Structure 1
Amino acid sequence: MSALENGSGKREFEGKRALVTGGSRGIGAGIVRALLDAGAEVLTTARSASATVPDGASFVTADVRTPAGARGIAEAVRETLGGLDVIVHNAGAARPHASIAAIPDEEWQDALDINFLAAVRLDALLAPAMREQRSGAIVHISSAAVPAVAPQFLHYTAAKAALENYSRGLAAELAPAGVRVNTVTPGRVVTPGGEAVREQWAQLDPTQVHSGSPVPLGREGQPADIADAVLFLLSDRASWLTGSNLVVDGGEFPRG
């Protein structure tokens, strides 16, 4: 039996309604594609449409950094899907700087809005219905760079650290209602956005330039590697998992 099928032969997420933020490219598009392949009805969002939005997904243009954007996504969920069974908060972004002091105030706020508060606002709008239906699964996407606390990226990693802490708290609150909340922490994944950021970082700090793969398993990750982890945590196979953080990084960033 395929991992995408259940015991009845149906696809694992058939009949499930899913929201994926930041699903127009990279890891987000990989998660959308995996959910569609597993039978889910998927709505995804981004600030602008992209040719890489997987065929079969519904799409809404929205800026998750703002309360108005979150409200627009919640309305699109009601109009397009009618309700939700799973949420994946994937939207995230930041650019490196030469030092902590060089990070402008507005970029600290922007990093918090897109990498942390976007999930808080959307969960506040959407999780109550999951609580009422007494089922649902939420996955927050963090970053394996969090424990590294690199000064050039501290606005990003601080926001993601807040997301991890929030995710554990939300998991504790929603568990009695049967709603599970977990985190997936990707490592070095090959995406156009990720490669652009790493090039910027290497220009600021040449020690970030590696010869060959620094990943113990010998290769950098692909969006499908992260999508597989996300679908596992969303699925009934993870029915006794909540408040967890699944690190998917090829062993590059060990956590004690």
Structure 2
Amino acid sequence: MTTKTAIELRSISKAYGPAGNQEYALRDATLDVVRGEVLMLMGPSGSGKTTLLSIMGCILKPTSGSITVAGHDVSGLSERALGRIRLDNLGYIFQEYNLFPTLNVLENVMVALDLRGYTRRRARETAMKTLADVGLDDKAQVKPGTMSGGQKQRLAIARALAGSPQVILADEPTAALDSVNGQQVMELMHSLAKRGDRAVVVVTHDPRTVDFADRIVTIEDGLLHPQPQDGAKAPERKP
């Protein structure tokens, strides 16, 4: 693994069902995820995209193969050890935001920092800085229920950024957003990869996001098909 490689997958397969009658969600997947890039996983429903993302995120264990996250071979680790790997190295963004409705914006980000053992003061300072990075520092005291879909997704991104993870994993982050908010969210994620030297992995069906990809991997029937990519530049936002 090179210093730029955040996640390394080797011959990963995931099967369900009893031996002799298994169905494969993922077959012999080999892939490196590199810091500083936006990697998009695309393909039809049921192709294995979310399975692959869950394995990258140490949420789902593969049936066979090996995975290395931030230099750590996570194959065979206990759930407790995997939890530490997730906290230290990975941030997650979901289509449904998964925010805490009874907490304000600042508190939603601070929760992630509390889990990492930050003091209250340090968590507050770090959370405010992270909110400023996504343009939400003026919303620190409001509840998520009063925010637009685009603002909620930026808050979800801020929470994923808490603790400065090497990798951001996003599952359909623009699916619930209109074209303007979807583009703004992807511009932000592209910027996070480039400025923060992070790997950003996006599972998406949304063709509007393609221009933001440095690499695209198509998945069909559990098989990976990398596409050649010249390297993306965030397109100009239309007024």
Bigger strand fraction: 2
| Structure with bigger RCO (C-alpha 8 Å, 6+ apart) | 2
